[in-house]
Structure 1
Amino acid sequence: MKETGKRNTPSAIQNKCFMLIQSGRYIIQNKGEKADIKFLLREIPPIKLNNPTVTAFIQENNPGQFTDYYYMIQALKKGESFDEARDGISFSTQFPVRPLNHNDYTKLKEILSGNNTLLHQIYLKKLKFLFQNNGCPKEIADLRPSIESHVVDSPLKQEILSLYEQYAPLREGMPAPLSSLQDANGILYTFNDFKGKVIVADIWATWCCSCIEKMPKFIQLQNEFRNQKDILFISISIDQKNARNKWLKALEENKMTGLLNLISYPTENSHFETDYHVIGVPRYFIIDKEGKIVTVFAPGPGKEMKELIQNILK
């Protein structure tokens, strides 16, 4: 590598690409924990993703994986931790899910404002998943001009631009849609009925094992704020109407009677799952005292959610 790296020939660039992809695999396999990785990072030469030789190489060598390694190594070289540097965009069973961070958003911005059409298509597909799981936070919204001006028109591009329109009403600061909800006694509610309180909502279903597993943590978080009069913890089930009895039974079995428990109640003009694009559960919402969205893609019950609530209540 030292001999060929001095020449910017296609052969030398291909060697750099091979070194990067093998180094990335080694770092991932060892979860960034091997002591020799810091020495390896010093030897990995710089590569430009838009170089034609690099583009040709990644077309034949798993372009998504190559790009993930490229940006991970860039971040590691800057001193980021392994967990911060590794890809957080794609779902993987190899590592726990983490929130998107500045490295992920930088990757998306650079790729979608570049001229590599192959990577455009790969990351537009990933954006579909991000919308479903993160909505349209400011960092995702900021990508739209790059997509409009740099990405070649295609059905996939139009689908992504359509998702921007669909998720726009769920951005921070927008009025929370007033979907119809019903309690165990048949009384109907909307979020408008809780104005003056910060609403923390756990969206779940009786058939969702992960939802039920996390419910005790949500109840515990409610107990930590029990002396706060201006906050309301609620659960919202997306079970179908014909599963109402199953829902009522689950409230008892899972010791949820201390919460305000509601169930989606679709009407001609209102459908909770559609209004909030609920693709999967559990999901967590936080609505402010004025009935405006703080986030409808909040972190699960734990330290991060607690800190978010505390900042809203200040």
Structure 2
Amino acid sequence: MKIRILIFLQFLYFPLFAQEGNIYQYLKQKWSKEFSSAKDITTTYHDNIKRMDKKNIPLAIQNNCFMILKSGEYITQNKGEKEDIKSLLRQIPTIELNDPTVAAFLQQNSPGQWTDYYYMIQALKKGETFDAARDGISISTQFFARPLNHNDYTKLKDIFSSNNKLLHDTYLEKMKFLFQTNGCPEEIAELRPTIESHVEDSPLKQEILKLYTQYEPLSKGQSAPLSSMKDTNGKNYSFADFRGKVIIVDVWATWCCSCIEKMPKFMQLKDEFKQYKDILFLTISIDRKSDQDKWLKAIKENNMTGMLNLISAPSANSHFETEYQINGVPRYFIIDKEGKIVTVFAPGPGKEMKALIQNTLKQ
């Protein structure tokens, strides 16, 4: 009789007697199905708890990790709109990123995706909207890109302050894209001491520190580099020629479809500020010298003749694309009356850009 009871208990509490790898595989199998509701997720979570030894803390943490992973998937797939998500959020456990079991879990799962879900869930629990809570750091085809916000910066600060090397490497890699698309705003600059002191030295870390050096001269308040440019008549210009005016710049190229598509909005924004005498809207093309005929033709075809149109004119001492770290177009600049950078990574023509221009004119 005792033997039969022992066999039954071994079957019921299989995870207690398995090796660590088997425990993980057991949980992975339990969490591998598609979940159609929050109730389905929470039922799986609590069923696993019932089958565990309460003293097996690593197993409980792994179950928590799977709960976060599947909850994050469910919330994201439904864009935070399903009513049962509120009840799901109340049952998602807290977890410690520095825990060795969490680090081991991330080694076997997508660390970036899991971490994005983890921070999204924390923000949602605080009452943030789904769009504000979801990740804004990574490129995604699932959602439109949005500006980085306080949730994204909090996530980066927490990660680089942690002891999780895997997450350090994962998010250092993401920092490359952040520099290219956002430059080095104050919030990114504030991460540098944490990266220097908490992240283990590596070629990737040195690459990111080098990017800090490259992009910091383009930060808010820095003097705008005086690159050489020419107008349609071949006259030379630099931003020094426009001192005393707020300068709004659209950096584009004739081969850039998105640039052409957004140009009418830029010209419309220019018209909205036509009553101001201390503002100048202009375009700068990065077309090569051999393509200047295409540039002149595109200006006429797109009705851009009502504003100053310039083209980059590299010289021995000046190269616009290098000095402004132009890795893609369109790009938009706002430079104040004193020739200081407000931003050279401005949002596209629209409400956000208009607000930035209005604030700059008031200064």
TM-score normalised by length of structure 1: 0.98
Deviation, structure 1 residue 8: 6.5
| In structure 2, C-alpha distance between the alignment counterparts of 1:297 and 1:160, rounded to whole Å | 19
Does 1:73 find its partner at 2:124? no
Matched to 1:234, the amino acid is L
Aligned counterparts, 1:65-144, within 5 A: 65-144=113-192
Show CA shifts across 1:280-310 (max 9, x none): 0000000000001000000000000001101
Show CA shifts across 1:91-125 (max 9, x none): 11110010000000000000011110000001001
Aligned counterparts, 1:1-314, within 5 A: 1-2=45-46, 3=49, 9-314=57-362
Matched to 1:237, the amino acid is S
| In structure 1, C-alpha distance between the alignment counterparts of 2:145 and 2:245, rounded to whole Å | 30
| In structure 2, C-alpha distance between the alignment counterparts of 1:211 and 1:299, rounded to whole Å | 13
Show CA shifts across 1:238-286 (max 9, x none): 0000000000000001111111100000000000000000000000000
Aligned sequence identity (%): 72
| In structure 2, C-alpha distance between the alignment counterparts of 1:165 and 1:18, rounded to whole Å | 39
| In structure 1, C-alpha distance between the alignment counterparts of 2:205 and 2:164, rounded to whole Å | 15
Matched to 1:116, the amino acid is N
Matched to 2:301, the amino acid is E
Matched to 1:26, the amino acid is Y
Show CA shifts across 1:23-76 (max 9, x none): 000011001111110110001011111111111111101111000000000000
| In structure 2, C-alpha distance between the alignment counterparts of 1:191 and 1:266, rounded to whole Å | 15
| In structure 2, C-alpha distance between the alignment counterparts of 1:253 and 1:37, rounded to whole Å | 51
SS in 2 for 1:203: strand
Show CA shifts across 1:218-250 (max 9, x none): 000000000100000000000000000000000
| In structure 2, C-alpha distance between the alignment counterparts of 1:238 and 1:128, rounded to whole Å | 22
| In structure 2, C-alpha distance between the alignment counterparts of 1:218 and 1:97, rounded to whole Å | 19
| In structure 1, C-alpha distance between the alignment counterparts of 2:55 and 2:243, rounded to whole Å | 66
| In structure 2, C-alpha distance between the alignment counterparts of 1:258 and 1:202, rounded to whole Å | 14
SS in 1 for 2:338: coil
SS in 1 for 2:86: helix
Over the aligned positions, Cα root-mean-square deviation in angstroms equals 1.1
**How many pairs align?**
314
| In structure 2, C-alpha distance between the alignment counterparts of 1:7 and 1:301, rounded to whole Å | 58
- Residue ranges of structure 2 left out of the alignment (5+ in a row): 1-44
Matched to 1:220, the amino acid is Q
Show CA shifts across 1:162-207 (max 9, x none): 1111111101101000000000000000000000000000000000
| In structure 2, C-alpha distance between the alignment counterparts of 1:168 and 1:51, rounded to whole Å | 34
| In structure 1, C-alpha distance between the alignment counterparts of 2:100 and 2:55, rounded to whole Å | 16
**Which of the pair has the greater relative contact order for Cα pairs under 8 Å at 6+ separation?**
1
Structure ID, larger Rg: 2
| In structure 2, C-alpha distance between the alignment counterparts of 1:64 and 1:256, rounded to whole Å | 43
SS in 1 for 2:283: strand
TM-score normalised by length of structure 2: 0.85
Matched to 1:112, the amino acid is F
Taking a change above 3 Å as real, the CA distance of residues 47 and 185 of structure 1, as seen in their structure-2 partners, is: same
